Amino acid sequence: MEDRLRKFVRLIDAGSFTKASQELHLSQPALSVAIAKLERELHTPLLVHGVRPLALTTAGKLAYAAGKELQVKTSNLKTQLAELAQQKVVVSVGMIDSVASVLFTSSKSVDELEHSAAVSLVVDNSRNLLQAVEKNALDLAFVTGQHQYASSLEVLRSTFESMVVVCHPALRTELNRAIEAGTLPRFISYDQASATRRLVAEALEQRGVTAEPTFYSTSPEVMLRMALLQKGVVALPYLPVRDYLLDGSLVAVGEPPLIVSRPVAAVKRRDMLLAAPLMRTVDQVARLLTNLGSELSEPGEQ
């Protein structure tokens, strides 16, 4: 039954028989047989049959919750046994791209993690990462810290990432004049559903500046390239733009420069036991982000 319960959980998390069977490396008929057998064993329907998308009966919701609990307990046991035997633990961690960049600037951090764990790393947006943690597809995720978290999730640690508003030097005079008038034209913004977009807009408004977006993107790399091509002004994490600020390819906008502190949270399932290497990674990321923030605030870095 435990194996069929695991398949049932995977089915619900995947959202369809087609996707779940691919993830489980099973044929769809074989998965259907397993779910039907589980329903017979539990003497109750688990799915509302004949409807799309998949819908759970009340009993199905209870079975799903039990399956998730079993999944987490099994994972916790494996972690404890591996650490007891001083073996490498298997961990999966997700992070937004800027946190990944920060972590992998430190060879020491990477070496320590690699030495003590077999790591699966996912870089994605915060929305997808949080969903993966909820589904137990990730042990831990570093996300932008402006979300309504599900009750099953727990914030281990919160810190801040410094973002700086930058543009090509040819645009600085024009944009600084606009800022004095309370506007920021030619603004390259994060996509409209992004928590970071809202955060940046609120931070600018606190400085008395209203951004006027002309372009939206989900890719910080694309936004950076557009700034380098004199297409507008953008708020980006400090690390990706640091070298461009130092060599003069980009300049900070505003007097004093417009700086945004973006919350970053390390999030896990509330019932998940994190392996020691991941706990150390949480501390390392917080320390590296703090150091970058201090560097940005020092004279001459802007």
Q: Each residue of 247-280: pLDDT tens digit?
A: 999 999 999 999 999 999 999 999 889 888 899 8
Please name which of 278, 270, 12 lies closest in space to residue 121, comparing C-alpha atoms. Answer: 278
What is the average pLDDT across 99-114? 80
- Residue 301: predicted pLDDT: 44
Q: In this predicted model, what pLDDT tens digit does every residue of 212-230 receive, in sequence order?
A: 999 999 899 999 999 999 9
Tell me the residue type at 21: S
pLDDT given for residue 154 in this prediction: 93
The predicted model gives 111-139 an average pLDDT of: 88
The CB density around residue 225, as the number of other CB atoms within 10 Å, is 13
Question: Residue 26: phi, psi to the nearest 5?
Answer: -125, 160
Say which DSSP state 273 is in.
P
Name which CATH class applies to 87-159+263-297. Answer: alpha beta
16-69 pLDDT per residue, tens: 999 999 989 999 999 999 999 999 999 999 999 878 888 999 999 999 989 988
pTM: 0.80
Give how far the C-alpha of residue 193 lies from the chain's centroid of Cα atoms, to the nearest Å: 14
CA–centroid distance for 34 within its chain: 33
More confident residue, 203 or 52: 203
Closest CA to 79 of 279, 276, 285: 276
Pick the CATH number of 161-261 from 3.40.190.10, 3.90.230.10, 3.40.50.880, 3.30.420.40: 3.40.190.10
Mean pLDDT for the chain overall: 90
Q: Could you say which architecture CATH assigns to the domain 2-80?
A: Orthogonal Bundle (1.10)
Write the pLDDT tens digit of every residue in 178-199: 999 999 999 999 988 888 999 9
Helix (H, G, I), strand (E, B) or coil at 26: coil
How many Cβ atoms sit within 10 Å of the Cβ of residue 206? 9
Phi/psi of residue 152, nearest 5 degrees:
-80, -5
* pLDDT recorded at residue 302: 45
Domain with CATH 1.10.10.10 in the chain: 2-80
Q: Range(s) for CATH 3.40.190.10 in the chain?
A: 87-159+263-297, 161-261
